[in-house]
């Protein structure tokens, strides 16, 4: 399974945001990724 670099960076960024801001930021980011 191939993971684009952008998706990988977005995953790292979402993890950072989860630790800093919380689940709300991650949910909105995940919603953007899904859409």
Burial label, 4 (beta-carbon count in 10 A; 0-12, 13-18, 19+): exposed
Cα separation, 5 vs 28, whole angstroms: 20
4-25 pLDDT, tens digit each = 888 888 888 877 766 666 667 6
Question: pLDDT value at position 32?
Answer: 76
pTM: 0.38
Question: pLDDT value at position 22?
Answer: 63
- Which residues have a Cβ under 8 Å from the Cβ of 18 and sit 6 or more positions away? 25, 26
Owner of token pair 């709300």 = 24
Question: pLDDT value at position 28?
Answer: 79
Cα separation, 27 vs 34, whole angstroms: 10
Lowest mean pLDDT among 16-20, 24-28, 30-34: 16-20
Question: pLDDT value at position 19?
Answer: 66
């Amino acid at each position: 399974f191939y993971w684009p670099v952008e998706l990988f960076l977005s995953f790292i960024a979402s993890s950072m945001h989860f630790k800093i801001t919380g689940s709300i930021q991650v949910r909105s980011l995940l919603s953007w990724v899904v859409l």
